[in-house]
Amino acid sequence: MSRSVATMAWESTGAALMNSLRWLYGRLASGKSETVPATPRDVEVQVASLIRRSAAQAGVVGFSTGLGGIFTLPITLPANIAGVAALQIHMVQEIARKRGYDLRSEQVESLTFVCLTGNAALDILKDVGIAVGHKLTQQAVGQISGAALLRINQAVGFRLVTKGGTSGIVNLGKAVPFVGGLVGGTIDGISTAAVGNAAKALFPTVNRTERARDEQDDVIYGAAPPEQKVLTPPDAARD
């Protein structure tokens, strides 16, 4: 019985965390431009730069909030969690956007949360029966069912809560003044880089011609607004 109660407590905490992440996702996604660089090379250069910059920023957040150790932990820990989570979600959204994904998609939102688990991301998708690797294309992303999305979100919430004792959110090293800053900065920087690498794996570059066809057929990202026109490459327009 005690094990059942404990499991329910973890699940409840995970659900509350996911609600907070959904709110944060929506706030960060609002107003983002849908424009993407003209060439795949531009995309990859910007993605690599974004991951390095975000990891460095997360390291600064982790260092600054961990300097006081256990004496300031009750105040700085929530700030650390919120700050790093916002950085990581923004980074993943930008990677998805630059690679041609619609941030309004429920599938993109859920995969963004999967990315927050870093190195565990692929295992989570495998556990819910989603093929990972070359088979995880933009079309496969758009066809993830609602039931699968529910299982994904539950698994992510549980993973983010339970991993807190070993890395990322809570680590005993953060309780030591000054040393906590070094530990926190290192952990947050490394974990953010892992989140970025997961985003690169889960959001393959969308072919512009294929994306236009999918939007026209209302298959992958849902029906486009009636007034929205499918953009065609300049070369195609001249033909």
Q: Which tens digits make up the pLDDT trace of 136-163?
A: 666 677 778 888 888 888 888 888 876 6
How large is the C-alpha radius of gyration of the chain?
19
Q: 56-110: per-residue pLDDT in tens?
A: 998 888 777 766 555 555 555 566 677 888 999 999 999 999 988 999 999 999 9
Distances in whole angstroms, Cα of residue 10 to Cα of each of 24, 69, 73, 198, 235: 21, 26, 22, 24, 54
- The pTM of the full predicted model, rounded to 2 decimals, is 0.71
Contact (Cβ atoms closer than 8 angstroms) between residue 232 and residue 212: yes
pLDDT for residue 169? 43
User: For residue 47, what pLDDT band results from cuts at 50, 70 and 90?
Assistant: very high
Least confident piece of the model among 39-53, 85-99, 142-156, 220-234: 220-234
Whole-angstrom distance, CA of residue 11 vs CA of residue 68: 31
Predicted local distance difference test score (pLDDT) of residue 222 = 47
Better-predicted residue by pLDDT, 19 or 67: 19
- Tokens 């991951």: give the residue: 51
Angle among Cα 138, 142, 147 to the nearest 5 degrees reads 140
> What Cα–Cα distance (Å) separates residue 159 from each residue in 46, 92, 118, 133, 217?
29, 18, 10, 21, 36
Four-point Cα dihedral 212, 216, 218, 221, nearest 10: 20
Q: Angle at which helices 40-66 and 179-202 pack, to 10 degrees?
A: 160
The residue-averaged pLDDT of 28-38 equals 72
Cα–Cα distances in Å, from 113 out to 46, 52, 54?
21, 20, 16
Between CA 238 and CA 101 the distance in angstroms is 26
Q: Specify the pLDDT at position 236.
A: 46
Summarised one tens digit per residue, pLDDT across range 162-211 is 665 444 444 555 555 555 667 777 888 999 999 999 999 999 887 654 44
Residue 125 has pLDDT above 80, yes or no: yes
The pLDDT value recorded for residue 37 is: 57
**pLDDT above 90 (res 122):** no
pLDDT band at 212 (very low <50, low <70, confident <90, very high): very low
Q: What is the pLDDT of residue 144?
A: 84
